[in-house]
Amino acid sequence: MVELQLISTPRLRTAVRIHGAPGGVPVVLVHGNVSSSRFFEELMETLPSSWHVLAPDLRGFGDSQRLPVDAVRGVSDYADDLHSLVETVGLAGTPFHLLGWSLGGGVAMQYAIDHPGQLASLTLLAPVSPYGFGGTKDVDGAPCFPDYAGSGGGAANPEFVKRLAAGDAGQDSDFSPRKVMSNFYFKPPFRLEEDRETAYVMAMLQMAVGEDNYPGDSTPSTNWPTVAPGHRGCNNSLAPGYFDATPIVDIDPKPPVLWLRGDSDQIVSDNSLFDFGFLGQIGAVPGWPGADVYPPQPMIAQTRSVLDRYAANGGRYAEEVIENAAHSPHIEQPEAFLEAFVGFVRRNS
């Protein structure tokens, strides 16, 4: 049975879902944006009983303390929070297995950069590109504009943000959290049973909404699409210019890496429906300056390029694509996910 505990660390009060006996193989799961550790609960119940699994809510998400995010530090507020939790629960001296999903993948990469010796393995599940989300145009993360216009807090859909803030648990709009989850977290026509779907929606609605958290503040820009990253909040923490996980190629030691993703992801993709470059290309956002200036961000190609450099520098990684899954393979295709993830952890324990 998964237990929810509130653990006070020197940095914040953290809500943590825990499964398995202390002393087992330590595994830490970090959730994605507009979600919480609740999205891992069913998965945790199916993991080996010999594992000791912890899944924290990041600051401002779920039941954790609603503290502001300093986006100028990239995702380091989240990574430092995670390290404080690891120290508080006594894992700091034990190599553990770390999985990060989406935003959590960025947090996991930053953790690996800061504390490589603490990781027995690193699993990146549909992770954000090592160059951040939005505003870059090639495999080397070159900016479309110097101010990284089109990324950060102002890039979030305002109607979706409004409905999050209002606690909209319905499905009368394509911008309702429930519809966004069904249409983008998962590959339609996949749907969860009603009780589980509602539990996930309520977890989405728990998060702190505003300039200090989701999506964050923004800065006007003279460049298309006229908005650039601000300095606070979750989405700005993933903006290129603040977030850069490419130093992972030089860490020592280098934990083995498993990169898992769905074959139909519309969020983290070379043609992401959340990326202004792709939205401009398909005519969804007017004024697009063209592919030479602002092409779709090659998110998958960027991640593969960085991991290839990781391998060239002495590390090792495996890329596994789970069929008939979008942004949440652990939920959509749990058997395929478990086969890949459990096998990877066991081989590196």
216 CB burial (10 A radius; 0-12, 13-18, 19+): buried
Series of mean pLDDT values for 10-residue runs along the chain (349 residues): 97 98 95 98 97 98 98 98 98 95 98 98 98 98 98 97 98 96 98 97 98 98 98 98 98 98 98 98 98 98 98 98 98 98 98
Q: For 173-217, what is each residue's pLDDT tens digit?
A: 999 999 999 999 999 999 999 999 999 999 999 999 999 999 999
Q: What is the pTM of this model?
A: 0.98
260 φ, ψ to 5°? Answer: -110, 135
How many CB atoms within 10 Å of residue 178?
20
DSSP for 271-330, please give it: T-TT-HHHHHHTTSSTT---TTTSPPP-HHHHHHHHHHHHHHTT--EEEEEETT--S-HH
Burial (0-12, 13-18, 19+ Cβ within 10 Å), 347: exposed
Residues 34, 200: Cα–Cα separation, whole Å: 10
CA distance 27 to 20: 10
Contact (Cβ atoms closer than 8 angstroms) between residue 319 and residue 307: yes
| Nearest residue to 274 (alpha-carbon basis) of 164, 138, 183, 203 | 183
Tokens of 256: 């083995």
Instruction: State the Cα torsion 206-70-176-334 to the nearest 10°.
Output: -70
Burial class (CB in 10 A: 0-12, 13-18, 19+), 208: buried
Nearest-angstrom CA–CA distance, 284 and 276? 9
Q: Phi/psi class of residue 148: alpha, beta or left (left: φ > 0; alpha: ψ in -120 to 50)?
A: left
How many whole angstroms from its chain centre is CA 320?
17
For the chain, the distance separating the N- and C-terminal CA atoms, rounded to the nearest angstrom, is 23
Owner of token pair 């081989």: 347
Q: What is the pLDDT of residue 311?
A: 98
3-347 adopts what CATH topology? Rossmann fold (3.40.50)
User: Which tokens belong to 162?
Assistant: 């409004």
Helices 76-88 and 103-114: crossing angle in degrees, nearest 10, is 70
**pLDDT at position 93, please?**
87
**Token pair in block for residue 287:** 């004024």
**Residue-range domain boundaries for the chain:** 3-347
